[in-house]
Amino acid sequence: MKSMTGFGKATKANELYELTVELRAVNNRYLDLNIRLPREFSLFENLIRERIKKEITRGKINVFVNLEKHGAQSDAAVDPALAQKMFSELQAIHLSLNLQEPVTLAHLLNYLPLAETGSIQLEEEEFKALLEPALQEALTQLNTMRGAEGAHLKQDMTERINNIAELTEDIKNKASGNVQETFNRMLENIRTLIGEQKMDETRLEQEVALISDKVDITEECVRMDSHLKLFRQTMEKSGETGKKLTFILQEMLREANTMNSKNANVAIQHQVIRVKEEIEKIREQAQNLE
């Protein structure tokens, strides 16, 4: 079980170039990949995408691939020929659009970088030889962080699931006598209202029994126990568990709401409220899971 959030970074280098892969992962309903890499090597985007898909199924992943030449920063210089070429291109755009504002140095600087840090003369196979191990190492770091966060979330959810199980058991114990108490109370109230009037005791008890039976929450408690068992089993599975756990929590909340609406026992209602609070806290955690 993994969290959807994490970070991974790795650098690989050869004699002339240094390539860095940085991965940043955050929560998202589906898998959303945003890949940024040097223009010259954009054809490797699909390779990166497929490699990540093999290990990650949910989350928004920002991928940054940076390629630098050793010592390029100190050798940076303005290329006059490139500057003249870009200025001519901007002038052509200016004329074609019939713009009134003249082309300025600011426009030129924003158009393309003028500082030549040494043109990239790296073959595709050489780039790939740096990219693949760097990407794998960054993915390993990312998954390690996601796994550690997932383990922390699992521990917290397990404790809360155990709390819900204890609360449900207490509710069952309290509810075992609630039906009889409700029956006795309703029967006594009706007798008080009717007073000395003649009535069919057998028919009265049958009607009161039918009404009081509606406060029985045994079925809801049994289903809650079943959901708790399924939740624990799902947490032990690998892969995409977040959506499954969220669905189970919705069913657990449905049972809790039914328990709350079927009886007027204050002690039971207080315990049900605590169950719902725990479910909500678990739901917030489950939204962070892959």
User: How does pLDDT run along the chain (290 residues), one tens digit per residue?
Assistant: 899 999 999 999 998 899 999 999 999 989 999 999 988 899 999 999 999 999 999 999 999 999 988 755 444 456 677 778 888 888 888 888 888 888 888 777 776 554 444 556 678 899 999 999 999 999 999 999 999 999 999 999 999 999 999 999 999 888 766 555 655 666 566 566 666 566 556 655 565 555 555 667 888 999 999 999 999 999 998 778 999 999 999 999 999 999 888 777 788 889 999 999 999 999 999 999 98
- Which residues 6+ apart lie within 8 Å of 89 measured at CB? 111
Task: Give the whole-angstrom CA distance, residue 149 versus residue 144.
Answer: 9
Cross-strand bridge partners of residue 17: 69
Least Cα distance to 49 among 158, 169, 107, 135 occurs for 135
CA distances from residue 169 to 24, 56, 229, 232, 242 in whole angstroms, order as listed? 43, 38, 14, 17, 26
Domains of the chain by start residue, with CATH: 6-73+122-146 (3.30.230.40), 78-116 (no CATH), 149-286 (no CATH)
CA distances from residue 33 to 8, 54, 112, 186 in whole angstroms, order as listed? 15, 13, 26, 62
Quick one: pLDDT at residue 200? 58
Least Cα distance to 224 among 281, 271, 179, 182 occurs for 271
Q: Is residue 248 classed exposed, middle or buried when 0-12, 13-18 and 19+ CB atoms within 10 A define those classes? A: buried
Q: Which residue in this structure is represented by tokens 């599975």?
A: 237
The secondary structure element, H or E, covering residue 21 is strand 17-26
Q: Give the global pTM.
A: 0.68
